[in-house]
Amino acid sequence: MAISQTDTDTSNNSDGRSGAPGFILSRLEDWARESSLWPVTFGLACCAIEMMAMSASRFDVARFGSELFRASPRQADLMIVAGRVSQKMAPVLREVYDQMPEPKWVIAMGDCASCSGVFNNYALIQGVDKIVPVDVYVPGCPPTPDALLDSLIKLKEQVAANSSNRHGARTAAGVGIVHDGIARS
């Protein structure tokens, strides 16, 4: 079970294309983007193991188009933050996120990425949405691969609905992180 944050602004054809051909192109673009969301390898801790299990043959994320985990963030459009984010790792996470080209999405996998889970202490960032805008939160410690697949499907629905208008995702804590990277509360 995953909770998704949908965009408030869902205007179609906002990418400036006009008329029926423009509409078809937008739909094609959305379909292409949602069918091949390539995650960047960002497995941090225990959730990474379940993410690997998701990409193995039983749960098989390949049938959803996301089998190709790209090591380079330049080639990826999805970041699944799988695991707890420590103080030392937070700037690294932000840098990898910044290196990803637009449009990009973030799944906060697991309790630690969503809200630091069991570890409410000095060492962890209390929820990865404090530093990157999150589109889908997946509860669980760790979430089963089924749950992660469910979150991926929810994300695909979001992407298919409106992939070119990506900005302004609101976070669960109520902090709006604007696209230019400055967190404003």
- Residues lying near another protein in the complex (CB under 8 A): 40-46, 48-50, 52-53, 56-58, 69, 71, 83-84, 86-89, 92, 96, 115, 118-124, 126, 141-142, 144, 173
Pairing of the two strands 105-109 and 78-82? parallel
- What's the CA gap between 149 and 95, in Å, rounded? 26
For the bound state, the minimum distance from the C-beta of residue 18 to another protein, rounded and expressed in Å, comes to 41
What residues pair up with 43 in beta bridges, in sequence order?
A: 82
Question: Least CB distance from residue 120 to another protein, whole Å?
Answer: 4
79 in Cβ contact with 107 (< 8 Å): yes
Residue nearer to another protein on the CB measure, 2 or 79: 79
| Cα gap 63→98, rounded to integer Å | 28
Q: Closer to another protein at the Cβ: 133 or 142?
A: 142
- Taking the least distance from each CB to another protein, the nearer of 46 and 161 is 46
- Judged by DSSP in three states, 124 sits in strand
* Smallest separation (angstroms) from another protein to the CB of 147: 11
Phi and psi for 177 in degrees, rounded to 5?
-100, 115
Nearer to another protein, 44 or 177 (CB): 44
| Distance, C-alpha 92 to centroid of its chain | 16
Closer to another protein at the Cβ: 85 or 159?
85
Question: C-beta of 50: minimal distance to another protein in Å?
Answer: 7
Locate tokens 């049938």: which residue? 63
Taking the complex as a whole, the smallest distance from the CB of residue 45 to another protein amounts, in Å, to: 5
